[in-house]
Structures are given as structure tokens and as C-alpha cells.
Amino acid sequence: MMNQFLHSNTAIVSIQKSTYDNLNIESLLKPIGGFKNYISKGERVLLKTNLLNATEPEKCIVTNPVVISAVAKSVLKVGGIPFIGDSPSGQFTKRRLKRVYKKSGLIKLSKQLGIELNYDTSSKKIDFPNGKRLQKIPIYNFVLNADKIISLPKIKTHSFMMMTLATKIMFGSIPGLTKAKYHSMFLRRKEFAEMLIDVLLVAKPNLIIMDGVVGMQGEGPSSGDPVELEVMLASENSVALDLAICKMLDIEPIGIPTLKEAKIRNLWPLQIDYPLLSPKDVKYTGFILLSSAGYLLTGKKTPDRFPCPNVKCIGCDQCVEVCSRKAIKIVDKKAKIDYSKCIKCYCCHEVYTYNAIDLETMI
Ligand code: SF4
Ligand code: SF4
């Protein structure tokens, strides 16, 4: 399962209009052979969701549990054993996982369907001699031990990588605070994207099902606004799927660092077939990108946006935990940032606790 390359001349991306009341995952999967094409009886299937932080699904920061539920039911139907896992921002502890699962509606879901939530926090280093940035990649055992991986990303903007889509979601295979460390090691977007593609090539999902019913626009991945796109997409090719979303939202794909890096590594398919709807059929006009996106797309220098704690801060300490540069201290029960140490990785912003960090341009 691991170490397969993504490159193929032709890829298929299945796209259909959907609402959370009417997902019809099985018709979405039909053109690519249905779930039975990917899952055999008795296989443990990781549903790798986007669980960025402990938030209610209505905020659109995490993959909607309705999508996870529909996919889990389909996996059960073909005899697979689904389980849910991801590594949220911050420390990867059982306590934190429980909190994230609870807020995002997954404890209820796991009880309803009788499926497991991952609490295994162990990991192993995997050799990847061809890696551009990482030749040894620490990957969580819950990812490595899965027989199959179905990734369930959500269409969202991203403060550092512009969009968080299928080519980025497997970053959640990397142990908790190592993710923050990588922000410190790979300061430039290009370097970070090179690392992300290394990770994707080692922890490659067998199937990707994108939650695009309600996405996030503006200042994602945690402080943007929900946007009703009413679409679901599926493919076995992460790059093809992200390229389809770029067409649908009228985004220049080369402006997304992971897609640019995928192109450099010759991972873009020569042809993408759309057996159901095409990106044109579901075109969404007016999707709001990050305020800094224009700079990324034109290749000009991104304006310096720094994390600024706002009045909602209660000094809970979680941003201190994720800051690899030790730039944050709690002073008088408020987060205080030493900007001489800050590398603008935005990990503290992603933690989202109390929505207490804004990104601001300093003049
Ligand atoms: S900024 Fe947010 S995470 Fe940091 S201390 Fe304040 S409330 Fe907690
Ligand atoms: S304070 Fe700066 S370096 Fe620390 S997590 Fe936030 S953005 Fe990253």
C-alpha cells in the first residue's frame, strides 16, 4: 500500500452535486468501480478525516460527520472494518483526541455505527530515500497499520498553503508536535510543499472522497467563512482531484504550492476524465481566497501577516504548546508573542481555541 507513486497518464475524477441530506456516496463511487473496487472483506480501513481542532462541524473546520458516516456505512456494506483517525493540531494525546472527537460529533457517530476511533498515539520512522526534504518520515502507526486508507478532506482555504485539499491532508499522518517542528525546518512555502509531497508519497490514500458540500473560504483553515458549494468529488488520484477543484473554483493551480511541487515532480496526470459532472458543470463563481492569495498567485512577495492574539484570549496555553519557536508566552492570562522569534507558520492560528488569534499585516 505504501510507497506507490501517484503518477498516471489518465485519472478519473467523479463529481456530483450533493447536500448533506442527500449525499449518495455510492453513485459518486460508481464510475470508479464502487467501494468493492477498493475494499476487501475483513480489511481495516482508515477514514483519514480532517480534524484540525476541537470544533463543531457547523463551523466547517472539520470534515462533516455526515460524510464520514456515509463512507463508513458503505465500507461496512462491502465487509470492511472502518475506523476514524487524524492528528489534530497540538499535542497528540488521548485526552486531546477525546475532546476533538467529542466536539466534532464523532463519539456519537462511533457509537451509532459501532466503529472505532483511533487512540493509538505511537509512530514509526519510514525510510524514503527518494524524498526531497525527508528521507526518513515519522508516520503514525494507525496510518501504517491500516489495510486501506480513504482520505476525507474538506475544501478549505489555508493561511500557509493557500488551499488545504487532497494533496495536503496526509500531513495528519505526522506525529503531533513534529508537524510544528517541520514548520520551523521548512520555512519557505516551496520547502514545506516539497515535504508535504514526500509525506503524500509515503502515506498515499487508496481513495479520496472530498467534502465540498459546505467548504470554507476567506481566512482558512480555521477562521474563514462557510461557503455552500454543494459538491462531492472522488478519485484515487489526489493531484487530479485538487486540479479539478481549482477548475471548479477558478483558481490558478500553480499558485497552490503542493500542486506546483506535484507538477515539478511530474505527478500531474496528462488527462483527467470526468464521467459524471465536469468542473465546468459545478463552477462556483466568487469563491473568496485568502487576503494574501493574490501575492501567491502572481509570485510576488507575500505581505507579512503576523498572528495577533485578540480580546477573546483567555490564556489557555494551547498556542504556547504548538509554537516550535517558543515565541509565545502567557502574560497576565493573555498570549503574548515575541515577533522576533515568529516564523509565521500560523500553527497557533490553526489551534483556533476561542478564535483568539487574528492574522494581521504589520506596517
Ligand atoms: S490565543 Fe487562543 S490558544 Fe493562545 S492562549 Fe489565547 S485562547 Fe489559548
Ligand atoms: S507565534 Fe509565530 S512561530 Fe509561533 S506558532 Fe504562531 S506563527 Fe508560528
Residues 310 and 239 in one domain: no
Q: Is the CB of 356 under 6 A from ligand 1?
A: yes
41 in a structural domain: yes
CA of 342 to the centre of ligand 2 (A): 5
* Residue 358 neighbours by CB under 8 Å, 6+ apart: 223, 307, 308, 310
255 in a structural domain: yes
| 330 CA: nearest ligand 1 atom | 5
pLDDT at 168 over 60: yes
Q: Is the CB of 351 under 6 A from ligand 1?
A: yes
Residues 167 and 308 in one domain: no
Looking at all shown ligands, the one closest to residue 338's CA atom is: 2
91, 337, 342, 351: which to mutate for ligand 2, most atoms within 8 A of CB?
342
C-alpha dist (Å) from residue 192 to 75, 81, 136, 159, 296: 33, 34, 16, 13, 14
317, 347, 354, 355: which to mutate for ligand 1, most atoms within 8 A of CB?
354
Number of domains forming the structure of the chain = 2
What is the maximal distance between C-alpha atoms in the chain?
Answer: 59
- pLDDT recorded at residue 175: 92
- Mean residue pLDDT across the chain: 92
CB 197 within 8 A of CB 261: yes
Of 251, 277, 295, which closes a domain? Answer: 295
Residues 14 and 141 in one domain: yes
Kindly tell me the burial class for residue 270, based on how many C-beta atoms sit within 10 Å of its own C-beta (0-12, 13-18, 19 or more).
exposed
Q: Is the CB of 348 under 6 A from ligand 2?
A: yes
pLDDT, mean of residues 45-59: 93
Residues 314 and 176 in one domain: no
Of 251, 275, 295, which closes a domain? Answer: 295
Q: Is the CB of 333 under 6 A from ligand 1?
A: no
Residues 221 and 119 in one domain: yes
CA of 174 to the centre of ligand 1 (A): 23
- pLDDT recorded at residue 304: 76
pLDDT confidence of 91, banded at 50, 70, 90? confident
4 in a structural domain: no
Q: How many CA atoms lie within 13 A of 235 on its CB side?
A: 29
- pLDDT recorded at residue 3: 38
Residues 14 and 131 in one domain: yes
Q: 348 is in which domain, residue-wise?
A: 304-361
pLDDT at 284 over 90: yes
211 in a structural domain: yes
Residues 267 and 319 in one domain: no
The 3 state secondary structure assigned to the chain is CCCCCCCCCEEECEEEECECCECCHHHHHHHHCCHHHCCCCCCEEEEEECCCCCCCHHHCCCCCHHHHHHHHHHHHHCCCEEEEECCCCCCCCHHHHHHHHHHCCHHHHHHHHCCEECCCCCEEEEECCCCCCCCEEEEEHHHHCCCEEEEECEEEEECCCEEECCCCHHHHHCCHHHHHHHHHHCCCHHHHHHHHHHHHHHCCCCEEEEEEEEEEECCCCCCCEEEEEEEEEEECCHHHHHHHHHHHHCCCHHHCHHHHHHHHCCCCCCEEECCCCCCCCCCCCCCCCCCCHHHHHHCCCCCCEEEEECCCCCCCCHHHHHCCCCCEEEECCEEEECCCCCCCCCHHHHHCHHHCEEEEECC
pLDDT, mean of residues 139-166: 96
pLDDT: which is higher, 292 or 347: 347
CA of 168 to the centre of ligand 1 (A): 25
C-alpha dist (Å) from residue 11 to 15, 190, 237, 249, 282: 13, 25, 7, 19, 19
Residues 105 and 213 in one domain: yes
CATH code, 335: 3.30.70.20
Write out the three cell numbers for 253: 493551480
1 in a structural domain: no
- pLDDT recorded at residue 346: 87
2 in a structural domain: no
- pLDDT recorded at residue 209: 98
355: left (phi over 0), alpha (psi -120 to 50) or beta: left
Q: How many CA atoms lie within 13 A of 236 on its CB side?
A: 21
Q: How many Å apart are CA 154 and CA 57, to the nearest integer?
A: 11
Residues 247 and 335 in one domain: no
Write out the three cell numbers for 77: 456494506
Of 295, 318, 345, which closes a domain? Answer: 295
Write out the three cell numbers for 280: 465546468
pLDDT confidence of 92, banded at 50, 70, 90? confident
218-267 per-position pLDDT tens digit: 988 988 999 999 999 999 999 999 999 999 999 999 999 999 999 999 99
Residues 183 and 308 in one domain: no
185 in a structural domain: yes
Q: 85-97 b/e with 16+ CB inside 10 Å = b?
A: bbbbbbbbeeebb
- pLDDT recorded at residue 302: 62
pLDDT at 339 over 90: yes
CATH code, 40: 3.40.50
The angle at the Cα of 166, spanning 259 to 295, to the nearest 5 degrees, equals 40
Residues 178 and 228 in one domain: yes
Residues 343 and 284 in one domain: no
